[in-house]
Amino acid sequence: MLILCMELKELKENFDKIVIKYKLSEPDKAEKISKFLTSGKKVEAVEFAAAFSMDVVEAENFLGFIMKGIEYKESNIDPHSK
């Protein structure tokens, strides 16, 4: 998978570009993203891309950065959260 080859810095840069490109920090979109991520079901890049009218690779990059953050939190900040 493409995301595995990317450095964390690249993931963050791509994440920021995607947020700006699709205006994902706007309140309505931010709320929609939070609902996606807290729905309790696995978030698929294809579904996320369709919901925000973006390319699937962009959705993979966006979600990949979020997943890296969650992995970091679970392993370094709160190892008992699993």
Instruction: Report the mean per-residue pLDDT for the chain.
Output: 86
Displacement of CA 44 from its chain's centroid (Å): 10
Examine the pLDDT at 78 and tell me if it is beyond 60.
Answer: yes
Split into its structural domains, the chain has a count of 1
Cα(28)–Cα(82) distance, integer angstroms: 30
Give this prediction's pTM. Answer: 0.80
**Host domain of residue 58:** 8-77
The DSSP secondary structure of the chain, one letter per residue, reads -HHHHS-HHHHHHHHHHHHHHTTTTSHHHHHHHHHHHTSSSPPPHHHHHHHTT--HHHHHHHHHHHHHHHHHIIIII-TT--
Each residue's pLDDT tens digit, 38-52:
988 888 999 999 999
